[in-house]
Structure 1
Amino acid sequence: MKTETIYELVVTAVQELIAEPWTIAELNIRYLSSSHEAECDGTYLDASGEAQVLSTDFPDEVLDALPFLFVNRANDGNPPTNSLQMTISAQGRFAVDYEWDQEIQDEDDHFTKGGTAKEWLKIRQEKYGYTPE
């Protein structure tokens, strides 16, 4: 599937999921290369400017297409990325920002090798300075 088509699917899905008036949404997509899956979360600003949690209960077609944003980018000769922030306006305009996040890759590698959540939390604390919430 072409990248522009995937962007259009995501924009439409976000517009359909937000049931109230809104201004802008931010969708964070992380690519797990070991399983060729993407996971996401996000927020949006309602009409009063309050941040709200963005549902990511996307149709299967959207969820299945998300990993191809990263695959297509690599196939086009771009540097590897595993993180994408997509900013979407209520009118359907959008901007994308791809990045490499080593922590995402380290976590993916850890669990692919059979590591436990407890071990990962310790590694994450030592390497990235995060404490469990």
Structure 2
Amino acid sequence: QTLEKLEEAQLAAHAGAITRCLGASTPMASIKVIELLSRLDLPTLQAHRTTCERRISACSSCVQYAAQEVLGWRPKVDDDNQMDGDDDKVPLVIQAGSSMVMAGFSGDDRPQVIFPSVIGRPQLGKGASYSTPVILIGDEAMSE
């Protein structure tokens, strides 16, 4: 909601951050990002076009359709009428650490998703009730 109120100069200043939002959330959020991108001036939009197209190609078909309709971008087609998307695909990087799992796209500054990989439950003594399940996640599980 606050992004929609930004003026064009502010949008241009944050264009890189806005393009990183593509595909990071729900398809509707990505479509809103595409609408914001359509408000950018042409040189700024062209500067971020490669990143945008790469992220849009990994999104659902409704997001790809929105990019085609709003931004006028069409999928690249080579001479044999086959989609030329293999070169634009970005590897997904997943780091499964001892207590956290991090995931994101190669080339990004930081992971897009970080979540704990340790789940446990406390040891209950004799006569303790198991009626209410207690689950510990992350640091809580490590400390028990």
TM-score by length of 2: 0.25
- Greater RCO structure (CA 8 Å; 6+ sep): 1
Larger Rg: 2
Give the TM-score normalised by structure 1: 0.26
Greater percentage in strand: 1
